[in-house]
Amino acid sequence: MDVTQPQPVLGTMDFGTRVAPDRAFAILDAFVAGGGVWLDTANCYAFWTDPDGVGGASERVIGAWLRSRPGMRDAVRIATKVRHNPLVPHSPETAEGLSARAVHAGAEGSLRRLGVDHVDLLWAHAEDRTVPLEETVDAFGALVAKGAALRVGAANHAAWRVERARSLARERGVEPWTSLQLRHSLAQPRPLTPLAEGGHRMLTPDDLDLARSEGLAVWSYTSLLWGSYVRADKPLPSTYDHPGTTRVLAVLEDVANELSATRNQVVLAWLMHQGIDPIVGASRVDQVEEALAARGTRLTDAHMARFAEAR
């Protein structure tokens, strides 16, 4: 598969906690069988649901799956993140941060749990303004220089911080962040409304402008809004209660019917049409199959204009 084209990324946050290892293995198998390539995890997944109160379960499941599937490491690309893993169990306020020591220790732990010698993409999971940006940039650059990460990126960072970090990387002769990960979906909350989900940062026009100007990859998380597009038992949060949501959901229903696609597939196609790789969390094989089938859902410029007018 041409991984330079936008495609669904398998989100593995709940593997080893809410999703048992055997079911996670089946999901991973189905993802690869369907032509999926990228796996997205983090060293902190999912400390908030793990009885041990620390992350690592998701990476351990992926590592076990790789060991049980000889040769599969060559078929997938792995992205993980450092920043949020608690140093004290059940205490998110003790998150590791982005000091050089934390970045190197976090990456080493991830490689050990995954059972690999490198990851294909290492993310800074969120900003850490208690640490000089130069220190963080150098640490990520050093991991690329020694081959522990092939690429590095910034999740939940302001566009100006990303560009400042990239400038510092150029000045210091180290690998710059080349990927952005932010929350984005078709339906949007009311502008300037605080999000209930701590740490989430919405994709903005400035982020897209930076990415397109600099040739950066863009990944979106919470792409399907927890299943709210298709599940009556998963209503959108109150922050989405505004006329734009009503209009865009009506267009979504019409377009899905026109294309004989599910609403989820149209949303994923809408993201991919913009050059965005949508992360899709899955707890069942059929969800993976639905997401991968979205690659065949082709939106026209006319469809995109209808969505833009509705929003």
Q: Which two tokens stand for residue 89?
A: 């169990």
The answer to whether 148 touches 119, Cβ cutoff 8 Å, is yes
Residue 249 lies in a domain: no
Residues 6+ apart with CB under 8 A from 302: none
- In this prediction, residue 24 carries a pLDDT of 98
Question: Residue 179 in 3-state DSSP?
Answer: strand
216-228 pLDDT, tens digit each: 999 999 999 999 9
Residue 52 lies in a domain: yes
Question: Residue 157 in 3-state DSSP?
Answer: coil
Residue 22 lies in a domain: yes
> What is the identity of the amino acid at 306?
R
The answer to whether 31 touches 69, Cβ cutoff 8 Å, is no
152-194 pLDDT, tens digit each: 999 999 999 999 999 999 999 999 999 999 999 999 999 888 8
Residue 308 lies in a domain: no
Residue 258 lies in a domain: no
Phi and psi at residue 81, to the nearest 5°? -135, 150
Residue 244 lies in a domain: no
Q: Which two tokens stand for residue 212?
A: 């397109």
What total of structural domains would you count in the chain?
1
In this prediction, the residues of the chain whose per-residue pLDDT falls under 70 are 1-3
Range of the domain at 112: 9-235+264-298
> What is the identity of the amino acid at 197?
E
**DSSP string over 84-153:** --BSSTT-GGGB--SSHHHHHHHHHHHHHHHT-S-BSEEEE-S--TTS-HHHHHHHHHHHHHTTSBS-EE
Output the domain CATH number for residue 125: 3.20.20.100
Cα-Cα-Cα-Cα dihedral of 102, 57, 37, 278, to 10°? Answer: -80
